[in-house]
Chains A and B, each alone.
Chain A
Amino acid sequence: SQQGEEDPQALSIQEGENATMNCSYKTSINNLQWYRQNSGRGLVHLILIRSNEREKHSGRLRVTLDTSKKSSSLLITASRAADTASYFCATDGAAGNKLTFGGGTRVLVKP
């Protein structure tokens, strides 16, 4: 079954630095999405990249997708303490219905 796996599992950076996390998956996808989850809270949609796209930007976020390697990266530039959260990639496959989430990357941005 398709599965998103993030690395690293945890990341600690200083405010102002960039944070990069990666996601790998196993089977063909229609889209890949990134979500943020603050501790014990709900999932907030950040950005979606379609399988025919290679790169997408939204504010301080930059997402890349390499379907040949079945991988995606999320870059957060000029990080802020408020970016402290867990970040998950989620894929949806041919049926385009359910989302399959990765294990997440816990990001700590120190002021």
Chain B
Amino acid sequence: EPEVTQTPSHQVTQMGQEVILRCVPISNHLYFYWYRQILGQKVEFLVSFYNNEISEKSEIFDDQFSVERPDGSNFTLKIRSTKLEDSAMYFCASRKLREIEAFFGQGTRLTVV
């Protein structure tokens, strides 16, 4: 069964460093998303991406964050100058154009030290 894959599963980075989280959405999906979940808290929407551009972003998604679809398969989230409070589980999701159900990856646990 097709699935959304995320790498790495766990990343530890020093405060101030840049990280890139990678996702491979399901191949025939056209909408892509990033969400994050700080430990013990809600899953929060960060950004949605469609037709090679951001379609919606939350207040959390400030200039520190950027997304890219560098090729036909990968969808990346870049976090510049990481802060301690960026430590969270980051989930990628994708869905088909006219369907509602979003499929989530297993997440990348980011730890900023």
Contacts and interface: CB of A to CB of B under 8 A. Distances in A.
A35 B42 CA distance: 12
Contacts, number: 54
Contact of B104 (A30, A31, A42, A96): A42
Interface residues of chain B: helix, strand, loop or mixed (majority): strand
Nearest to A45: B101
Interface of A: 30-31, 33, 35, 40-45, 48, 88, 90, 92, 95-104
B101 to A, nearest CB: 5
Interface string B25-47: 00000010101000001111100
Given A43-B43, A99-B45, 4 more contacts: A30-B100, A33-B100, A35-B104, A97-B55
B31 A43 contact: no
Contact of B48 (A40, A88, A97): A97
Interface in B47-62: 48, 55-56, 58
